[in-house]
Amino acid sequence: MKVPQSGEIVSYSLPDSVGRIRLGDGSEVRFGASALGGLVPVLGMRVIVRSVVEHPLGGFKAVEIALAEGGEAAYQEKASAFGAAAAAEIEAGKIRLEHKQERVAAAVQPEPLTEQEAHELAELKKLREAEARVRCEADEAAERLRLEACLLFKNRPDPEAWAALLALVGLEGGAAARVLALARPAALLAAVPSDAAVDRGDSKLGGEPDLPGGTAWPTSAGRPLAFLGQVRLSAVPAAVRGSLSLPPEGLLSFFYDALGQPRGLEPADRGGACVCLWPQIERLARVAPPPGLAAQGRFREVRLRLLEELRLPGVGSPAFDALGLEPAAVDAYLRALDAYAGVREDAAHSLGGHALPIQGAMEEDLAPALREAGDWRLLLQLDSDERMGATWGDGGRLFFWLREDDLRALRFDQAWCILQRG
pLDDT of 371 over the 60 cut = no
Sequence spans of domains, the chain: 1-102, 150-420
> 108 pLDDT band (50/70/90 cuts)?
low
At residue 157, φ and ψ (nearest 5 deg) are -60, 150
pLDDT of 93 over the 80 cut = no
How buried is 328 (Cβ within 10 angstroms: 0-12 exposed, 13-18 middle, 19+ buried)? exposed
Q: 43-47, 397-401, 405-409: which range is least confident on average? A: 43-47
Position 18 scores a pLDDT of 86
Q: Which CATH number fits domain 1-102: 2.40.50.140, 2.40.40.20, 3.40.50.2300, 3.40.50.720?
A: 2.40.50.140
| 323 or 230, higher pLDDT | 230
Position 374 scores a pLDDT of 64
Q: What's the pTM value of the predicted model, to 2 decimals?
A: 0.69
What would the CATH number be for the domain defined by 150-420? 2.30.320.10
* Closest to 241 in 3D by CA, of 211, 277, 199: 277
For range 262-289, the mean pLDDT:
93
Position 219 scores a pLDDT of 95
Q: Is the peptide bond before 4 cis (omega within 30 degrees of 0)?
A: yes
Q: What is the DSSP string of 3-49?
A: SSEEEEEEEEETTTTEEEEEETTS-EEEEEGGGGTT----TT-EEEE
Query: Is 39 in contact with 65 (CB distance < 8 Å)?
Result: yes
CA–CA dist 272, 225 (Å, integer): 8
pLDDT of 373 over the 60 cut = no
Position 265 scores a pLDDT of 86
CA–CA dist 149, 158 (Å, integer): 11
Position 229 scores a pLDDT of 97
Give residue-wise pLDDT tens across range 375-406.
889 999 999 999 999 999 888 999 999 999 99
Position 402 scores a pLDDT of 93
For range 313-318, the mean pLDDT:
86
Q: Considering the chain, what is the average pLDDT of its residues?
A: 87
